[in-house]
Amino acid sequence: MITVSEILNKQELSKEDIIYLLSITSKEEHDALIKKAYSVKESYLGKNDYLRGLIELSNQCKKNCLYCGIRAENSKVSRYSISDEEVLQVTEFALKNKFTGIVLQSGEQSNAHFTKRITELIIKIKKITYPEFRITLSLGEQSFETYKEWFDAGAQRYLLRIESSGEELYNKIHPDNELHDYKTRLQCLENIQKVGYQTGTGVMIGLPFQTIENLADDLLFLKKMNIDMAGMGPYIEHTDTPLYKHKDLLLPILERFNLSLRMIAILRIMMPDINIVSTTALQSIVPMGRERGLKAGANVLMPNLTPGKYRSSYLLYENKACIDEEADECLDCLANRVKMIGEEIAYSEDGDSKHFTLRNRISLEFNEKRLS
Continuous H helices in the chain = 4-8, 15-22, 27-45, 84-96, 112-128, 144-153, 167-172, 182-195, 212-225, 253-270, 280-285, 289-295, 308-311, 327-340, 354-371
What is residue 334's predicted lDDT score, i.e. its pLDDT?
85
What is residue 367's predicted lDDT score, i.e. its pLDDT?
59
Task: Give the 3-state secondary structure of residue 296.
Answer: coil
What is residue 328's predicted lDDT score, i.e. its pLDDT?
72
Q: What fold is seen in the domain 26-362? A: TIM Barrel (3.20.20)
Q: How many angstroms separate the CA atoms of 90 and 306, rounded?
A: 7
Q: For residue range 266-322, what is the model confidence (pLDDT) as tens digits?
A: 999 999 999 999 999 999 999 999 999 999 999 999 999 999 999 999 999 988 877
Q: How many angstroms separate the CA atoms of 234 and 146, rounded?
A: 30
Task: Give the 3-state secondary structure of residue 235.
Answer: coil
Q: How many CB atoms lie within 10 A of CB 288?
A: 14
What is residue 320's predicted lDDT score, i.e. its pLDDT?
85
Residues of the chain falling short of pLDDT 70:
325, 329, 362-372
pTM over 0.75: yes
Cβ neighbours for 219, distance < 8 A, ≥ 6 positions apart: 18, 263, 266, 267, 270
Cβ neighbours for 81, distance < 8 A, ≥ 6 positions apart: 57, 58, 60
What is residue 335's predicted lDDT score, i.e. its pLDDT?
86
Q: For residue range 221-279, what is the model confidence (pLDDT) as tens digits?
A: 999 999 999 999 999 999 999 999 999 999 999 999 999 999 999 999 999 999 999 99
What is residue 366's predicted lDDT score, i.e. its pLDDT?
54
